[in-house]
Structure 1
Amino acid sequence: MKNTPTDPVPLLQDLIRCKSVTPAEGGALTYLENMLSTHGFTCQRLIFRQEGTPDVENLFARFGTGAPHLCFAGHTDVVPEGLVDKWTYAPFAADIADGFIYGRGACDMKGSVAAFAGAAIDFVATAGKFKGSISFLITGDEEGPAINGTVKVLHWMRDNGHIPDHCIVGEPSCVDTLGDTIKIGRRGSLSFVVTVEGKQGHAAYPHKADNPVPKLARFIDRIASSKLDDGNDHFDPSTLAVTSFDVGNPAGNVIPSRAQAKFNIRFSPEHSFASLRAWVDERIADVKGELGGQWSYTAIEGADAFITEPGPFVGLVQDAVERETGILPKLSTSGGTSDARFVKDFCPVLEFGPTNATIHQTDERMSIEELRATQAVYARIIADYFSTAL
C-alpha cells in the first residue's frame, strides 16, 4: 500500500520539458502513457486526421471498467513561447526559482495534468478495490484548431463504451487564489462578417454613386447600442463587440464600392446560433428598408453556450474545494471557450484548476505550493466521488 503522496513537481517539470507546441506531441503523451501504464491504467493512443488540418495525437487512459466513471480531461499542447530572450528562464527548461516552476504550459495546463495524474495514481494505489473507474482524456489539439482532438476522442469513447458519468476539465479556472472559482459553463461565440455593396464614384458627385458606408455605419451603430439580454443567475449579459470596419479605400476623394464590418457576439443559453442569426437578419432588414443597398453576411459558429446546472456533482466538487482550500468557490461561466464545450454533449462537465494569472504569457509559471494544493483538491474530489452515491 502506497502511503507517500506522489510529488507533482517532477511530473510537471518533465511535462514542461516536452516541447509540445500545438500540434507537436513533443513526448508529453508518451511520458503520461508510460507513467499511467505502470500504475495499472489501460492506455490508448489515438491519432486523428482530417484533410487540411495537422494530424493530432491524443491519449485515453482508464483504470477500472465499472460505474461510476469519473474522467479528467485536459491537454498537453501549449502555445508558442514567443520571444525566447524575453523569458527570465528558458521556456522549456522547467527551472525552479523563488518557489515557482517556470515554463510554457506550467499553468495552461500541464500543471493540472500533473496534479490530477498524481492524485489518481495515489488513489488507485491506496484504495484497493473500489466501485467505479477513473479515466483521462488528454488531447494535443486544444490550443490549435480543436478538430482532431477532444471532440474525436469523445466519439471514439462513445463507440467503445467509455463515456464517463462526470468529467472535470483541468483548465486554470481560478482568478486570484486557488479555490476561488469553478466554471460550470461557458458563453457561446458567434462571429459575423457583414458586407454592403454600392457603386464607386467621385466624392464631388455623390449623387452619381451609391455609398455603402452610411448604410453599414447605421447598422453597426444600431447593433452596437442594442441590449441582447440582462443576463441571469449564472451568466453576465451577452455582449457584442465590433472588431472591424473596412472599405479598402486609400483615396480621400473616391466613394468606395463596398463596405465590410466584423463583429462577435458572446451569449448565454438564452440564445442560439439560429436566434442570433434571426436577430441580425431583422436589423439588416430594418436598415435596408431605410437606406437600401445590397446586403450579405456570413456567420461563423464558434462554440455554443452551455451550463452544468448546480446539483450533486457540482456540489461535491464545490465542497471538496472548500474543504481543502478553505474557500467556497464561485460558480462561474466567464471566459472564452474550452474543450468542455465538446464534453457537455456527452456528460455533465465542469472546470477546475489553478490560477490563470500567467497563462500564455512570457515567464508563465506556477508556484510549487499551488501545484501541490491543486493535487490535494483533486485527491479530495476523487475520494469523495467514489464514496458518495451521486
Structure 2
Amino acid sequence: MSDVLDFTRALIEQRSLTPDDAGCQALIAARLSAAGFACESMRFGDVDNLWAVHVGTNQEPTLVLLGHTDVVPSGPVEEWTNDPFTPDIRDGKLYGRGAADMKGSVAAFVVAMERFAREHAGHRGRVALLVTSDEEGIALDGVRKVADAFRERGERIDWCITGEPSSKATLGDLLRVGRRGSLSATLTVRGIQGHVAYPERARNPVHEAMPALAELAARRWDDGYETFPPTSLQISNILAGTGANNVIPGELQVLFNLRYNPHWDAARLERECDAIIARHCSDYAIDWHRSGEPFYTPDGELRQVCRDVLKEFAGAAPEESTGGGTSDARFIAPLGAHCVEIGPVNASIHKVDEHVSVADLERLPDLYFELMRRLLA
C-alpha cells in the first residue's frame, strides 16, 4: 500500500463532520513537523485551522497549498456499500466520505511537501500548507478568519493551489483559474393580513412582490467576463400564507442567490436589487449574506506552470475554467495571491459511495511535487 493511500485512509477514518476536525490536523501536523515544517494551530470558535510553513533560502515568494479536513454528512448510512468512515478499496477505487472532497488531496499535499522539503531543502521562498475544518459549513471561522489574521500581521501569499476536486473525467483535465462570487438574500415583504373577500382592508405582500421578483429573475445582469459566464440570479424558496385559501397573508419570505463574475461586487449588486424591490414593495427588509467575492487569476507564471504540468499528466492541455460553486480560495485571493484549483475527479463528491481512483490518488503527490519544484526549486 502506498504512503498517500495509507494516509488518505487514516484521514477518512476520522469522522470530521463539519466543523469538527476530529484529529485530522494533529495527524498532519505530526508528519509535517517531523519534515521540518513550523506548524501553527489557529483555532477560532469551534473551528481548527493549521498553518504549516517550510522556509528555504529566503522569505519570498510564498506558495500555499490550501485544503480542508471537514466533510459533509454521509446521508443514509444504509445506502452506502460500506460504512462511510471505514475506507474500502473496490475495483480500483477508494471509497469513503471525503475520499475525493478532499482528504485525498490533503494527504497528497502532505506526502508531496515531505518529499519537497527533503529533496529541495534550499528552495527559494516558502512553501506552506493551510487547512481548515470549516469549508463545508458556514465558513466563518475557517480560512475567512485566518485571512483576517494574515492581513493583520502582514502575511504575504504569492500563489495558492487549492486541492478541490476539479477534474472532470481524468486527473488534470481541468485547471480552475477563478470562481464566481456568491451573494444570498432573505427578502421579507410585510403586508396586512385579511380576508380574501375584502382585499381593500388588507395589503397582499405576494402581489406586491411578484413584479419585483419577475424583474429580478428576467434581468440580464451582464454578458460574462473573460471565461466567466453571465451573472445569474436564482430564486430558491418562496414562503407565505396560513395554509388557508381564504386568507391574504401578512408576510412573504423569499430566498434568492446571485452567482456573479468580476463585473460586480457584492455592495453594487445589493444596491441594484434593493432599487428594484423598492419600486414595487412598500414595506420590506433584506438580510444579505456575502459568501465571497469573485476572483480571477490572469495568465502569468502560476497559470503557465500549472498548464505545463497538467498537460504532462493528462496528456493534453487542460481546460481553463471559472465554473463551479465557491471555494476557500475566495478568502486568499483578496490578500493579493494568484489562485488556482487542481484536484481529483469530482463526479462522486457529496454523494453516497464517494470515491477516488486509486491510480489518480497515487499520482497526485507527484503532480503537486512537480508544481512546487517548478515554482520554488
TM range, normalised to the smaller chain?
Answer: over 0.9
Larger deviation: 148-157 or 316-325? 148-157
TM-score by length of 1: 0.90
Q: Which residue of structure 1 aligns with residue 48 of structure 2?
A: 57
* AA matched with 1:20: S
Identical aligned residues as a percent: 40
Give the Cα separation in 2 of the matches to 1:267 and 1:295. Answer: 24
Q: Is the 8 A contact 1:216 1:260 kept in 2?
A: no
Give the Cα separation in 2 of the matches to 1:271 and 1:328. Answer: 30
- Written as runs of structure 1 = structure 2, the 5 A alignment for 1:64-213 is 64-65=55-56, 66=58, 67-158=60-151, 162-213=155-206
Evaluate the alpha carbon distance shift between residue 225 and residue 158 of structure 1 in structure 2; reply closer, same or farther with a 3 A threshold.
closer
* AA matched with 1:233: E
Unaligned stretches of 5+ in structure 2?
A: none
Q: Which residue of structure 2 aligns with residue 369 of structure 1?
A: 359
Q: How big is the shift at 1:105?
A: 0.6
Q: How big is the shift at 1:98?
A: 1.1
TM-score by length of 2: 0.93
Q: Which residue of structure 1 aligns with residue 298 of structure 2?
A: 309
Q: How big is the shift at 1:232?
A: 2.4
Evaluate the alpha carbon distance shift between residue 56 and residue 300 of structure 1 in structure 2; reply closer, same or farther with a 3 A threshold.
closer
Evaluate the alpha carbon distance shift between residue 212 and residue 24 of structure 1 in structure 2; reply closer, same or farther with a 3 A threshold.
closer
Q: Choose from 326, 345, 350 the match for 2:315.
A: 326
Give the Cα separation in 2 of the matches to 1:61 and 1:248. Answer: 53
Q: How big is the shift at 1:314?
A: 1.2
SS at match of 2:279: helix
Q: Choose from 259, 279, 284 the match for 1:286.
A: 279
Q: Which residue of structure 2 aligns with residue 252 of structure 1?
A: 245
* Residues matched between the structures, number: 374
Give the Cα separation in 2 of the matches to 1:103 and 1:311. Answer: 37
SS at match of 1:342: helix
Q: How big is the shift at 1:160?
A: 5.5
Q: Choose from 231, 236, 239 the match for 1:243.
A: 236
* AA matched with 2:366: A
Evaluate the alpha carbon distance shift between residue 297 and residue 325 of structure 1 in structure 2; reply closer, same or farther with a 3 A threshold.
same
Q: Which residue of structure 2 aligns with residue 13 of structure 1?
A: 9
SS at match of 1:287: coil
Unaligned stretches of 5+ in structure 1?
A: 1-5, 50-54
Give the Cα separation in 2 of the matches to 1:299 and 1:152. Answer: 19
Q: Is the 8 A contact 1:154 1:163 kept in 2?
A: no
Evaluate the alpha carbon distance shift between residue 224 and residue 166 of structure 1 in structure 2; reply closer, same or farther with a 3 A threshold.
same
Q: Choose from 281, 286, 295 the match for 1:297.
A: 286
Deviations 1:314-355 (A, max 9, x none): 111111111222121122111111110111122221111111
SS at match of 2:53: strand
RMSD: 2.0
Q: Choose from 333, 337, 341 the match for 1:351.
A: 341
Q: Is the 8 A contact 1:358 1:364 kept in 2?
A: yes
Give the Cα separation in 2 of the matches to 1:45 and 1:176. Answer: 36
Q: Is the 8 A contact 1:198 1:294 kept in 2?
A: yes
Q: Is the 8 A contact 2:241 2:247 kept in 1?
A: no
Give the Cα separation in 2 of the matches to 1:351 and 1:273. Answer: 23
Q: How big is the shift at 1:164?
A: 2.7
Evaluate the alpha carbon distance shift between residue 161 and residue 250 of structure 1 in structure 2; reply closer, same or farther with a 3 A threshold.
closer
* AA matched with 1:266: R
Q: How big is the shift at 1:128?
A: 4.4
Q: How big is the shift at 1:205?
A: 2.4
